[in-house]
Amino acid sequence: MSQIVKSYDLELLVQDSREQWKSQYIIQVKLRNLENFKTNLTKFENIRFKNFKILYIDWDELQKQNRYSNTTLGFLLRNNTNHIYKISYTVGYYDGFTFNGLEKRNIICSFRQCDIGYVFFDKKLNYEKLNEKGKIYTVEYAVLVIVKSSSNIIVLQEVNYHKMNINIGLCPYINWVSKKGPVKFIPEDHIKDNGYFESSNGNAHIIIPFFKKSLDSNFFSCGKLKQPTLNDISIGYNLKYQNNENQYERKINPSHDNINCKNERRPG
C-alpha cells in the first residue's frame, strides 16, 4: 500500500461480523471541512464548546464493502498518528464515567455497542479531565457523530425462521448507545422488559426469540435509534423462512413417557 499523508484528524475503518478490521480507509475526517451543526447548544454536561460540527456516517456506503449478504458491517473511528488533538467521546454502557478517550479505546459502532454521539477535540484536555464533574471545561471542537440510512432501517443479520423452530438471539437494548449522550435507543414495546438480561452486559442487549410480527414483513425490529436531525432508524434482523419441519416429534403419553430435549438422528 502506498504511503498516505495523514493530514486528517480521524479515520474510519469497516468491521465485519467477527470484528476483524479491514485496512482500507473509507473516510478521512478533517475537522475544518465538516459541516457546521446549526443549533443553539453550546454545552453538554460540564463541557462547553467553541465550534460545533456534525459528521454523518452513511450506513449504505459502508455495506457496499460487504461481501456477505447475511451479515452487516460496523465501523471504527480512530485517531491519526500525529495525535494533534486529545479526543474524548460519549461511550456506550461505560461504567461510572460519561467519557472515554481514543488514547484508551477506539470509537466503535457494531452489534456489540455503538459509541455514536458527541466527540470532543482539544489539544490539552483529555477524557480524564472531562470526567471531573466539579469543573467546567471548554474544548475547541464538538462533533456530533450520527448514522444515516436511506431506508431508515439497519439490518444486523439474517436469521433463519420457521414457525415451529424459533431462534433466540440478542437485540440491542437501552444502553447499546451512551446513557447520557444525544443519541437514544428505544426498544420496541413487544421486547421491552420481556426477555433475559445478562447483568454484566449493563442492559446493552436483551435475549429474546425472533418471530414474525406481520405476514407482510420479514423484518424483526428490536427498536428505534433516535438521533438529532435525522428520522428514526429501525434496528433489527431479516427473517429468512427455512422450510424444515421438526424431524424429531412423536406422540407421547405424559403419564408414562419421559420428555427429552436431545436431538438424535433417525436411523438411516
**Helix (H), strand (E), coil (C) string for the chain:** CCCCCCCCCEEEEEECCCCCECCCCCEEECHHHCEECCCCCCEECCEEEEEEEEEEEEHHHHHCCCCCCCECCEEEEEECCCCCCEEEEECCCCCCCCEEECCCCCEEECCCCECCEEEEEECCCCHHHHCCCCCCEEEEEEEEEEEECCCCEEEEEEEEEECCECCEEEEECHHHCCCCCCCEEEECCCCCCCCECCHHHCCCEEEEECCCCCCCCCEEEEEEEECCCCCCEEEEEEEEECCCCCCCCCCCCCCCCCCCCCCCCCCC
Where are the chain's structural domains? 10-148, 153-241
Distance CA 204, CA 112 (A): 8
What is the predicted pLDDT for the residue at 61?
85
C-alpha distances in Å from residue 255, one per residue of 249, 252, 258: 17, 9, 9
What is the predicted pLDDT for the residue at 2?
32
Mean pLDDT of all residues in 41-58: 92
pLDDT category of residue 81 using cuts at 50, 70 and 90:
low
- Residue 56 pLDDT exceeds 60: yes
CB 155 within 8 Å of CB 237: yes
What is the predicted pLDDT for the residue at 1?
31
Joined together, the cell numbers standing for residue 31 give 475537522
Q: Is 200 exposed, middle or buried (0-12, 13-18, 19+ CB in 10 A)?
A: exposed
Arithmetic mean of pLDDT over the chain: 81
- 134-186, pLDDT tens digit by residue? 899 999 999 999 999 999 999 988 888 877 777 888 999 999 998 888 999 99
Q: Select from 1.20.120, 3.30.200, 3.30.70, 2.60.40 the CATH code of 153-241.
A: 2.60.40
pLDDT category of residue 35 using cuts at 50, 70 and 90:
very high
- Residue 101 pLDDT exceeds 80: yes
The three-class DSSP label of residue 60 is: helix
Highest mean pLDDT of the ranges 216-220, 244-248, 259-263: 216-220
Distance CA 131, CA 141 (A): 17
Highest mean pLDDT of the ranges 13-22, 192-201, 221-230: 221-230
Q: Which of these ranges, 92-101, 186-195, 240-249, has the smallest mean pLDDT?
A: 240-249
Helix (H) or strand (E) holding 129: helix 127-130
What is the predicted pLDDT for the residue at 120?
94
pLDDT category of residue 87 using cuts at 50, 70 and 90:
very high
What is the predicted pLDDT for the residue at 151?
95
Distance CA 229, CA 116 (A): 14
- Residue 105 pLDDT exceeds 60: yes
Mean pLDDT of all residues in 28-50: 89
What is the predicted pLDDT for the residue at 234?
96
Distance CA 89, CA 116 (A): 8
What is the predicted pLDDT for the residue at 166?
79
**Could you tell me which residue, 185 or 15, shows the higher pLDDT?**
185
What is the predicted pLDDT for the residue at 72?
76
pLDDT category of residue 8 using cuts at 50, 70 and 90:
low
- Residue 4 pLDDT exceeds 50: no
Count Cβ atoms below 10 Å from residue 251 Cβ, excluding itself: 5
